Structure 1
Amino acid sequence: MNIRIICIGKLKESYWVNAVCEYSKRLSKYCTLTINELKEEKSPDNPSNAEKSAVIEAEGKSILKHIKKDTYVIALEILGKQLSSEALAEKLNKLGIEGKSDIAFIIGGSLGLSDEVLSRADFRLSFSKMTFPHQMMRIILLEQIYRSFKINKNETYHK
């Protein structure tokens, strides 16, 4: 299975980078993982609605350029469907059985995802109604993908 994380912004702090490296290493046993870090658009301190929309649209166009036609897209979106770890594992397993082996998870910028990206998504996933820093969300996502593979292989992993 090919898993791609398409995200806005680069990780700068070493602790986030180290966490991504650790989960990338763990996931290498189960899938091919690619992380596409895309440029975060500049925005003024107090952007107008038009400026916010321009940022969201520009980031959306950048995201869409990295999605292949046959890729199954899961957008991380606060209004998406919440799943348990077991349900996410089941979803990934079912996608593999259906022959959908190229999966992209999308993490938008601080202002969210464009309507065009959300329309392209095959599934909208919410981890919580709370807002998390995008750097942390990347780690949480990688951990849950790893946990999904462990669940699907009936391998032990801490709860």
Structure 2
Amino acid sequence: MKLRVLWVGKSREAWVKEAVADYGGRIRRYLPLELCEVRDEKGALAEEMRRRECERLEKQVPPGATLVLMDERGDQLDSPGLAGFIGKQRDAAVGDMVFAIGGAYGFSEEFRRRGRLLSLSRMTFTHQMVRVFLLEQIYRACTILNNEPYHH
């Protein structure tokens, strides 16, 4: 299974870039991983920004991929639950699994209907932080699936 993590906008803070590189490297020990940024939209109404950003995200989703959208209104899983979800996709021989983080105004309703909605928390985090938190949780899931001690 190949894993792809998409997000809207550039990683701006040095600490975010460092953490993304660190967790990306850790995940690659377990799964092929591709990280992809798509351009954020500026100067339009929120609905139009969502639509345009989601069109860009859609172009990065391979046909037949399992799509997971990170959304504050999504289901919440604990870390073993996320590991189980990823493990089931892997064991079902899913070719591509894509996690997407939307822009400042989230996802369009049309795009939301395409994937499973997951939430990291009911709290609000910056989109920069969500990148790091998601990658850390994916890494944690990989260690759980491999019975390694990181998660205890």
CA RMSD of aligned residues (A): 1.1
One of 111, 119, 125 as aligned partner of 1:126: 119
Using the alignment, how far apart are the partners of 1:113 and 1:75 within structure 2? 8
Residue 135 in structure 1 maps to residue 136 in structure 2: no
| Residue of 135, 147, 150 corresponding to 1:154 | 147
Whole-Å Cα distance in 2 between the matches of residues 17 and 61 of structure 1?
25
Tell me which of 99, 113, 120 is aligned to 2:107: 113
After superposition, residues 1-159 of structure 1 pair within 5 angstroms as 1-43=1-43, 51-121=45-115, 123-159=116-152
> Could you tell me how far apart the structure 2 residues matched to 1:24 and 1:76 are?
18
Shift in Å, 1:120: 1.2
Deviation (angstroms), 1:12:
1.5
* CA–CA separation in structure 1 for the residues paired with 2:7 and 2:40: 9
1:52-110 per-residue CA deviation (whole Å, 9 max, x = no partner) reads 11111111111111111111000001111000000000010011111113100010001
Point out where structure 2 has 5 or more consecutive residues left out of the alignment: none
Q: Post-superposition shift, 1:158?
A: 4.8
- TM-score under structure 1 normalisation? 0.92
Contact 1:63–1:117 (8 Å) recurs in 2: no
State which structure, 1 or 2, has the greater radius of gyration over its C-alpha atoms: 1
Q: TM-score, normalised by structure 2?
A: 0.96
Task: Report the number of matched residues.
Answer: 152
**Poorly superposed stretches of 4+, deviation over 4 Å:** none
Q: Which runs of 5+ in 1 are unaligned?
A: 45-50
Equivalent residues of 2:143, 2:151 under 8 A apart: no
> Counterparts of 2:60 and 2:25 in 1: how far apart (Å)?
23
